[in-house]
């Protein structure tokens, strides 16, 4: 609900930080232009995008330093495909 776990790199290690905010409020703050909502439970940083796997029925993304695949819901698929096809916006 109002707690968000942010996983970020610090000294080449993944660190987890807990914030008392909603994911929607973090998304609206637009802290970085490469942040993208891909699921109701996930925002991803496209600069760390390693691979997209699947098709329109089931799509997952893989990020650098993250072993667990991250799901992309149907609601956000078009946004993921649009931004990934324009890499100049991810810088």
Evaluate if residue 89 carries a pLDDT over 60.
Answer: no
8 Å CB contact between 55 and 12: no
The tokens for 28 are 């609206």
What's the per-residue H, E or C state across the chain?
CCCEEEEEEECCEEEEEEECCCHHHHHHHCCCCCEEEEECCEEEEHHHEEEEEECCCCEEEEECCCCCCEEECHHHHHHHHHHHCCHHHHC
As a whole number of angstroms, the distance between CA 69 and CA 56 comes to 16
**Per-residue pLDDT tens for 23-56?**
888 888 877 788 889 999 999 988 889 998 888 8
Beta bridge partners of 45: 35
Mean pLDDT across the chain: 85
Confidence of residue 80 (pLDDT cuts 50, 70, 90): confident
């Amino acid at each position: 609900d109002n707690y968000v776990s942010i996983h970020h790199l610090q000294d080449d290690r993944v660190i987890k930080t807990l914030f008392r905010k909603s994911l929607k409020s973090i998304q609206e703050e637009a802290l970085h232009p490469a942040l993208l909502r891909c699921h109701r439970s996930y925002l991803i940083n496209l600069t760390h995008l390693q691979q997209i796997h699947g098709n329109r029925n089931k799509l997952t993304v893989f990020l650098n330093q993250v072993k667990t695949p991250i799901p992309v819901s149907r609601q956000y698929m078009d946004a993921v495909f649009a931004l990934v096809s324009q890499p100049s916006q991810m810088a």
